Amino acid sequence: MGNCCNKPSTSTPPTNQNTDPAPHTTTNNTTNNTTATSTTKITNRACFGAGCYWGTEKFFKIDFGRKRYPESLIKGDVGFMGPPGAQPNPSYREVCEGTTGHVEVFDMEYSGGEIGMEKMYEELVRFFFQFHDPTTLNRQRNDKGTQYASVIYCYDSVQKEIATRVKNELQALIDDGKVSCFSEKTVTTAIKDATEFFPAHAEHQEYLMKNPKGYCNHKIRFADWP
């Protein structure tokens, strides 16, 4: 089986860096059938690390964005996110060596559709836990190293609350024996504040869409939450 570190490399610098979106405004129906508008702090941007970013992108864009929730209108790039003050614009090889502290991630923008932004973000987090193994620290099957960490990078406090709640819910399901598809018994996924995102090179974007038989170690591990 291939290894994610065998991806093609190039000296072309990353481009197409995203900017932070404005706060999202939601409209809710009240009990007296009047309409109240409130501005939430949740953004329409999300970032996840789940091992090799080829599979992370494919599962969010295709399996979630096109098959489960077409109204989510997911678009984004694969790339790298590291700790505060980390080296800017790291090369793929530098990240693969594990010396920069960056994680391979898929950074996206999404829409709330009919269910709203907070619910859609929760569904993204739930799906994230369904297609990778969050119990193997810094490893997804053949891919080992800090760059393959299971991480949810949050762009605001609402995202962090949702991510923490869903992570704790999954841990309770594992403890109760209702979810038993993972290698270990403890969810090691880190929940961190988002930092600067650095897009990977163009040939790494939508790689599995262009190469359907390319390397991927992700799969749906449980179809529905108990």
Helix (H, G, I), strand (E, B) or coil at 130: helix
List the catalytic residue out of 52, 96, 154, 216. Answer: 52
Q: 76: burial class by Cβ within 10 Å (0-12, 13-18, 19+)?
A: buried
Q: Calculate ∠ Cα 141-144-145, nearest 5°.
A: 150
The verdict on whether 96 is a catalytic residue reads no
Phi, psi of 48 (to 5 degrees): -135, 140
Strands annotated E in 71-221: 75-81, 103-109, 139-140, 143-144, 150-154, 190-193, 197-199
* Alpha-helix residue ranges (DSSP H) falling in 6-84: 53-58
Using the structure block, give the residue that is written with the tokens 């059938």: 33
Phi, psi of 74 (to 5 degrees): -70, 130
Distance CA 171, CA 31 (A): 35
Enzyme catalytic residues: 52
